[in-house]
Chains A and B, each alone.
Chain A
Amino acid sequence: MWYKILYGLLVVVGGLAYGLLLGGISRKITARLHGRRGPTVFQNYIDLIKLIRKKTAISHGTMFFLAPMFRLLGGIGVLLLVPIVTKSAILSNFSFGGDLIVVLYFMVFGCLGMALGAADSGHPHSALAPTRGLAQMAGYELPFLISVIGLAIAHNTVSLGTLVSAQQGGILHWNLFQYPFLSIAGFIAMLGMYMAYPFSVVMAPQEIAVGPPTEYSSTFLSFMFTGRSLFGVGKYVLFMDLFLGGATNLLEAFVKTFAIFLFVVFITGVFPRYRTEQAVKFFWTYPVVIGLIDFIRIFIK
């Protein structure tokens, strides 16, 4: 058990490094798409170091204080509850049979914590952003749930490990090809989950300052930053497990998550922003209809 905790810490550190790197790459790619040179791929590391070493910070109250911790906890939880490499004693982390529902709910944990902290800051923009986020969540969760429930029923399990092992045996056994419509719905939902363009109305830079963390600074912000990176990596791994057949070794995990990451970056780099209700309407129409094709197929079967 203790070695698991140790490895868990290592996974967190590794996940953080990977997440920050992906962030940097994302900035670089976006800059290139804009025709700029862009910062170095390590820019996020530098930002993080700078934020940690800020000299002062302000706090607005207890929830404001605790929120970054919740955010980090949510990130760590999601990352550690999904198996990165299946059947590996170490890198399947703390995943267990029945973890799919847990992960779904744990994903909310960090968001809720951050939302509360943001609200406690007393800044109207900070309070506004979570309502947008929750509304958008109500949007993207519908297609996401369609794909997740479809897969769970199709494979008769709520365990991510079992889901992954059911997809072994060749690329065509991946859920991406077994249930293509569910996968499309799931991936569209994922775009919303990342809250980047075109679904960036939550953070909405230049519109409501920077969204929830408007009042956060210094160390607090660095924790949020960390949590977000971990969260991102956790979600990539989750989607890899759900649709891309998981990974049998670390390299495969890197490749597959990077592929998903590229998908996200290339979409977000070129789209303008939806308004909240437009986003919600979008999520409730196209991906839902697409996802229901496979959903009904599973239902009939």
Chain B
Amino acid sequence: MVNPVVIIAITLMAAFSIGIFQFFGKKFVRGVFWLTILFDFSAVLSIAYGFLTGKITKPIMVKIGGFPPPIGINLSVDRFGAYLAVVIFFIGAMAAYHWLNKGIDDPEPKALVLMLLLLLGSTGMIFTQDFFNLFVFIEITSIASYGLVASNVDWSSLEASFKYIVIGSISSTFVLLGAVLLYKFGGSLNMLDISSKITPSRYGGVLMIIAIMFLFGLLIELELFPMNGWALDIYQGANPAVVAILAGGIVKGFYLVFVRSAIYLKFPYILKIGLIFGLTTYLVSQFFAWKQKDIRRLFGYSSVGQLGLLVLAAGFYVGGGLQGIDKTYMLLAIVFFVLNHSFSKSTLFFITDLIEEKDIEKWKGVLKGNKLLKTLFSTSVLSMAGAPPFIGFWAKLFFVLAIPKQYFYVVVLVLLGAVAEIIYYFNLYRITSSDSENCFEIKGSIVPASMNTLVLLGLSFLSGYYFFLYTRISVSTNLLIMMGAAIIIYIFGFSRIFQWVLSLGILSYALYLFKNININLQGFFLLFILVGGLILVFATYPVSKKYSWSFYPLLIFSVLSMVGIALAKEWISLFIFWELMSWSSYLIINQGSKAKKASWVYLVMSAIGGYAMLSGIKLLTSGPNLVPGFNSTAMRYSTLSAILIFTAFLIKMATAPVHIWAREAYGESPDGFTPILSGILSKMGVFGAILTVVYLLPHTAHSSVILYGLALFGALTALFMALFAAFQENVKKVLAYSSVSQVGYILIGIALASSLGYSAALYHTVNHLIFKGLLFVAVAGIIYRTGTSYLPEMGGLIRRMPVTFLAFLMGIITLAGIPPLSGFAGKWLLYSALLEKKWMFILLIAMFASIVAFMYCYKLLHTIFLGQLRDKYIKVKEVPLPIAIVELVLAGLTMAVGIKPSLILDFSDKVVKSLGFYGPGYAYQGAHRIVSKFGYWNAYFMAVFAIGAFIIALVLFFLVKAKIRKVGQLDIGYSGEVPDSPESVHFGYDLYAHMRRAVSPFISPIMENSYKKVYNGIAAFVDYARRFYTGDLNTYAMWVIITLSFIFYIFYKGVF
């Protein structure tokens, strides 16, 4: 352990002796510099290690000059100071390394001096216990940063520097004023001393003014909203290495000083400051960043927003009246926020320097080539945007959980800001991951960014560990281990077949682990996910070659997170895995070559859903119980919370008003993933919806109205999506709408909340997996062979792919619900359930929707398989073997279930009983005869009847048939003309043009357009409001004074 004074002294000495050392040459100077940094870092690390392991328990107090504290200046290193110093020195070292290896603008020794001074100043600022000394260190830091900011080759850094100087001077004026006035009126400069003399009752009058002045000086440095124009200019104009250390380290020092001063001064209105300035800063900068074109300024907005959030958190931590576990959560939230921001943001700034491109649009395709860079960038962006399992996610979660319930609006606003953050961050990600001809070369060393990311990853695991430790949520260790295994798959990126086999292995192992699970709701879905996942992942191999090496790890990750959802016992853990699923599926969808925009919409909708769920969960918490289980309800809020939680599930199911993401995301996602997206992932919405209806809705006041509304939504979804599907020209988009439409039926079943309804919903869930998995897998194979998903380009493939056609036909028959196969039983159950409740209008719409569905069923069969075969497909082969196997397995399943529905219904019965209903509302007779109140349905008889009648017809035909000649493809009665090419006689484009004339008002994308209008409206507004930052120094300074006056006004008059 090293005396903290030594750190400061040695750094100071080294800094000023560099001027002499430069005569020995550049290398020598660098050596001295690195030695100093190394020494400092190891020193603070040893102290921090001492705190971490518990060897040091009390803050280290150092007297200077032998005077005892109230009289002499002293330093105090506490836990957080030490940690922060480690972070600052680490990032400082990384920034210095980055800068020195940049190669083009080698910093002169002066810059190294300034760098050392900067680190020294900020360390001193953290350590000092004296208000005036604090001012001195602040000034050292500021002057060093003025110089460093000005040191960029770009002349605009001078402008930034000058703005910084002026605002910084004003700020330090206030700090100094506060400090000396404190001395005058408080009688001491020592923090502890003053703290002991101040009681909150003394506030009012002079002390209030002084405290406000002092804290206000620090607030300016913390870049809060109306007075942060200069900070954004620095982010934009200065050298990224300097910005990285400023944003990643120094500002955090100011933050610590601010929080500490507020505590010592016992300032009573710190929460109000947080709520007014912190929250405003957070929201405003998250929205202002939407239309930002300069990437560094965009990150600047993000940094400013994070600082606002931190100030808000500090407000809650210091003045929010938190006690016990809440306080611990908030502290952890703050620590995680700080760490997340420091490491992610500095990485991002390093990367901006490596690419050297400022305009966002020019970042197009940056990440295409470089695997490492892509990993670093994605990790940082994901962590910044709060994606699990990165540290930002846990910070946000702790934060939301810790906020007292009466501040629910804060939760809503913060989550709103988080959505806004996702919007612009992933707009950026969309641009960077899209295809482009641009060629980029990395200028500089990638080591600092990698080191940062490594630390970030380690911290992410640590923070996740802490989360589970503190919340006492139990998570299946097996599951986590298997998720870890996904990383191993990631490493095997060079061999696709290895990845495939490993993925299958993991899924089979999971199935083996959970083989004895109870068949209740969770167990049912668990088996559903694993069996379905295994079958569908089996089919992915041939098509996976088109996609990135991270396809399989993410696939396994998303499937396993679905398992996590099914295994969840509390709402919070459900939320965690829900987010994991959303993010990993987003990353997979994003791999589709045209899916960039689509996946962005999907992510934003998912985020809205996820955060709605989180705020709903927040409402469910009561008192000390911050992790509500499924059974816990806080009666007062339960209607709202049920609706909020339901929003998430509805969005995932893509029902009527929130369906806008579905078409593009399904249509453009990787072909191997679409079956899983449609067959399993959207069923997680079903799972959640059942949970909500069973556990939450019974406690609400208007449950029957809500349920009827849900059923209506479901029915309208089923109808309109079926109608939309008929007018799509892309096979996957047809199936996308079809999926959504089918999920609408399931929603009706859930909303019925009767045993028959649940049976129908569960049956249809499995059935939908069977036939939609079959259809999507077959389509994946077809696209793989033909290379197109555009329907008018296909046709006649029955001649080349008979097996696929057979399977596809069975899938379509099941989809349409035509008797002998398994589709009909689901329809029958659903209609019986509706009849039982006498929901006539829902029944009418649902049945009508199934009629409308025939339109797209025929369209799919015809345009893909029938009609004329094109010349270019004359040599097309049958789909690859894995896909063919999966097709046949699923086709066999639909046939088996069609004859014997009890294969599924046995399971769903158990689920319905475990949900607390007396029985399924129907009875069996001999495993294939279902009897309900209204009649019965004998699947076996129907199958025998249909097959028998078919055989009779066939026999009859062969008895009387004429001499049959199979003619050629183009040999059609064509008015005596000889068709010249298959294309000229193939009818495949816009099959329902005539229908469009009848239904055109209904099929215009009203919802999509209105969402787009809202988005564009907000974007245009924030784009205009951004002009608040005029770039004029006087205006910036003026806003500082105006804000000060505002603060004085509201606090003095007690308006707020």
Are A96 and B935 neighbours in the complex by a CB distance under 8 Å?
A: yes
* A98-B854 CB under 8 A given contacts A122-B867, A127-B987: no
A258 at the interface (CB under 8 A from B): no
A109 at the interface (CB under 8 A from B): yes
Closest-CB distance, B238 to chain A (whole angstroms): 64
B1037 at the interface (CB under 8 A from A): no
Among residues of B, the one whose C-beta sits closest to the C-beta of A129 is: B987
Instruction: List the B side residues contacting A88 at CB < 8 Å.
Output: none
A96-140 interface with B by 8 A CB criterion: 96-102, 104-106, 108-109, 112, 115-116, 119-124, 127-128, 130-132, 134-135, 137-139
Are A63 and B965 neighbours in the complex by a CB distance under 8 Å?
A: no
- Of the candidate stretches B213-221, B276-284, B947-955, the one touching chain A is B947-955
Are B828 and A134 neighbours in the complex by a CB distance under 8 Å?
A: no
B961 at the interface (CB under 8 A from A): yes
* A69-B950 CB under 8 A given contacts A122-B969, A132-B994, A135-B994: yes
* A137-B854 CB under 8 A given contacts A73-B949, A145-B848: yes
Range of interface residues on A (Cβ < 8 Å): 35 or more
A interface footprint on B923-946 (CB within 8 Å = 1, 0 otherwise)? 000000000101111100110011
Instruction: List the B side residues contacting A131 at CB < 8 Å.
Output: 855, 858-859, 991-992, 994-995
Are A96 and B973 neighbours in the complex by a CB distance under 8 Å?
A: no
Rounded to whole angstroms, the CA-CA distance of A297 and B852 in the bound complex is 26
Among residues of B, the one whose C-beta sits closest to the C-beta of A127 is: B987
Are B840 and A150 neighbours in the complex by a CB distance under 8 Å?
A: yes
Are A130 and B995 neighbours in the complex by a CB distance under 8 Å?
A: no
Are A56 and B851 neighbours in the complex by a CB distance under 8 Å?
A: no
B683-723 interface with A by 8 A CB criterion: none
B interface footprint on A267-300 (CB within 8 Å = 1, 0 otherwise)? 0000000011110110010000000000100110
Contact of A57 among B854, B858, B964, B991 (CB under 8 A): B964
Are A57 and B957 neighbours in the complex by a CB distance under 8 Å?
A: no
Among residues of B, the one whose C-beta sits closest to the C-beta of A58 is: B967
A157 at the interface (CB under 8 A from B): yes
Rounded to whole angstroms, the CA-CA distance of A145 and B851 in the bound complex is 10
Rounded to whole angstroms, the CA-CA distance of A11 and B1003 in the bound complex is 45
Closest-CB distance, A291 to chain B (whole angstroms): 10
A223 at the interface (CB under 8 A from B): yes
Are A62 and B802 neighbours in the complex by a CB distance under 8 Å?
A: yes
Contact of A76 among B859, B867, B953, B957 (CB under 8 A): B953
B84-102 interface with A by 8 A CB criterion: none
Rounded to whole angstroms, the CA-CA distance of A134 and B994 in the bound complex is 11
A165 at the interface (CB under 8 A from B): no
A7-59 interface with B by 8 A CB criterion: 9, 52, 54-59
Are A277 and B994 neighbours in the complex by a CB distance under 8 Å?
A: yes
Instruction: List the A side residues contacting B828 at CB < 8 Å.
Output: 98, 101-102
Contact of A122 among B796, B835, B852, B953 (CB under 8 A): B796
- Of the candidate stretches B648-656, B778-786, B816-824, the one touching chain A is B816-824
Size of the chain B interface, CB-CB below 8 angstroms: 79
Are B858 and A115 neighbours in the complex by a CB distance under 8 Å?
A: yes
A interface footprint on B426-453 (CB within 8 Å = 1, 0 otherwise)? 0000000000000000000000000000
* A55-B953 CB under 8 A given contacts A61-B799, A98-B937: no
Closest-CB distance, A289 to chain B (whole angstroms): 14
B104 at the interface (CB under 8 A from A): no
The tally of CB-CB contacts under 8 A between chains A and B is 231
* A69-B953 CB under 8 A given contacts A52-B960, A94-B945: yes
Rounded to whole angstroms, the CA-CA distance of A99 and B952 in the bound complex is 22
B838 at the interface (CB under 8 A from A): yes
Instruction: List the A side residues contacting B818 at CB < 8 Å.
Output: 105-106, 108-109, 112
Are A275 and B835 neighbours in the complex by a CB distance under 8 Å?
A: no
B805-863 interface with A by 8 A CB criterion: 809, 813, 816-819, 824, 827-828, 831-832, 835, 838, 840-841, 843-844, 847-848, 851-852, 854-855, 857-859, 861-862
Closest-CB distance, B1018 to chain A (whole angstroms): 38
A68 at the interface (CB under 8 A from B): yes
Rounded to whole angstroms, the CA-CA distance of A70 and B809 in the bound complex is 13
B868 at the interface (CB under 8 A from A): yes
Contact of A141 among B848, B868, B949, B957 (CB under 8 A): B848
Instruction: List the B side residues contacting A164 at CB < 8 Å.
Output: none
Are B840 and A158 neighbours in the complex by a CB distance under 8 Å?
A: no
A77 at the interface (CB under 8 A from B): yes
Are B998 and A59 neighbours in the complex by a CB distance under 8 Å?
A: no
Instruction: List the A side residues contacting B857 at CB < 8 Å.
Output: 112
Are B995 and A73 neighbours in the complex by a CB distance under 8 Å?
A: no
Closest-CB distance, B530 to chain A (whole angstroms): 32
Are A219 and B994 neighbours in the complex by a CB distance under 8 Å?
A: no
Among residues of B, the one whose C-beta sits closest to the C-beta of A102 is: B819
* A99-B935 CB under 8 A given contacts A112-B818, A145-B844: yes
Rounded to whole angstroms, the CA-CA distance of A70 and B973 in the bound complex is 23
Rounded to whole angstroms, the CA-CA distance of A69 and B495 in the bound complex is 49
* A209-B973 CB under 8 A given contacts A105-B819, A157-B934, A280-B998: yes
Instruction: List the B side residues contacting A278 at CB < 8 Å.
Output: 998
Rounded to whole angstroms, the CA-CA distance of A178 and B938 in the bound complex is 31
A168 at the interface (CB under 8 A from B): no
B999 at the interface (CB under 8 A from A): yes
Are B866 and A120 neighbours in the complex by a CB distance under 8 Å?
A: yes
Closest-CB distance, B636 to chain A (whole angstroms): 35
Contact of A158 among B835, B867, B942, B995 (CB under 8 A): B835
Closest-CB distance, B849 to chain A (whole angstroms): 10
Instruction: List the B side residues contacting A298 at CB < 8 Å.
Output: 840
B787-813 interface with A by 8 A CB criterion: 796, 798-799, 802, 809, 813
* A60-B961 CB under 8 A given contacts A72-B953, A134-B855, A276-B995: no
Instruction: List the B side residues contacting A61 at CB < 8 Å.
Output: 798-799, 966
Are B965 and A280 neighbours in the complex by a CB distance under 8 Å?
A: no
Instruction: List the A side residues contacting B935 at CB < 8 Å.
Output: 96-100, 157-159, 162
A241 at the interface (CB under 8 A from B): no
Are B946 and A73 neighbours in the complex by a CB distance under 8 Å?
A: yes
A149 at the interface (CB under 8 A from B): yes
B30 at the interface (CB under 8 A from A): no
B963 at the interface (CB under 8 A from A): yes
Instruction: List the A side residues contacting B915 at CB < 8 Å.
Output: none
Instruction: List the A side residues contacting B481 at CB < 8 Å.
Output: none
Rounded to whole angstroms, the CA-CA distance of A112 and B249 in the bound complex is 69
Instruction: List the B side residues contacting A153 at CB < 8 Å.
Output: 835, 838, 840
Instruction: List the A side residues contacting B854 at CB < 8 Å.
Output: 108, 112, 134, 137-138
Instruction: List the A side residues contacting B960 at CB < 8 Å.
Output: 52, 219, 222
Are A152 and B962 neighbours in the complex by a CB distance under 8 Å?
A: no
Closest-CB distance, A116 to chain B (whole angstroms): 6
Are A77 and B937 neighbours in the complex by a CB distance under 8 Å?
A: no
Closest-CB distance, A288 to chain B (whole angstroms): 10
Are B957 and A219 neighbours in the complex by a CB distance under 8 Å?
A: yes
Rounded to whole angstroms, the CA-CA distance of A98 and B997 in the bound complex is 37
Rounded to whole angstroms, the CA-CA distance of A123 and B994 in the bound complex is 19
Among residues of B, the one whose C-beta sits closest to the C-beta of A115 is: B858
Among residues of B, the one whose C-beta sits closest to the C-beta of A71 is: B953
Going nearest first, the 10 A-B pairs with the smallest beta carbon separation are A98-B935, A97-B935, A277-B998, A119-B866, A276-B994, A135-B995, A277-B997, A280-B998, A127-B987, A124-B987
Q: A145-B847, A276-B997 are in contact. List 6 more A-B contacts (CB 8 A).
A: A59-B965, A102-B824, A102-B828, A135-B995, A138-B854, A145-B848
B residues sitting closer than 8 Å to A (CB atoms) are: 796, 798-799, 802, 809, 813, 816-819, 824, 827-828, 831-832, 835, 838, 840-841, 843-844, 847-848, 851-852, 854-855, 857-859, 861-862, 866-868, 932, 934-938, 941-942, 945-946, 949-950, 952-954, 956-957, 960-967, 969-974, 982, 985-988, 991-992, 994-999
A residues sitting closer than 8 Å to B (CB atoms) are: 9, 52, 54-63, 68-70, 72-73, 76-77, 80, 94, 96-102, 104-106, 108-109, 112, 115-116, 119-124, 127-128, 130-132, 134-135, 137-139, 141-142, 145-146, 149-150, 152-153, 156-159, 162, 209, 214-215, 218-219, 222-223, 275-278, 280-281, 284, 295, 298-299
| Interchain Cβ contacts under 8 Å between A and B, 19 examples | A56-B962, A57-B963, A60-B969, A69-B953, A70-B950, A76-B949, A105-B818, A106-B819, A108-B854, A119-B867, A122-B796, A122-B982, A127-B867, A135-B994, A135-B995, A145-B848, A214-B973, A276-B995, A277-B994
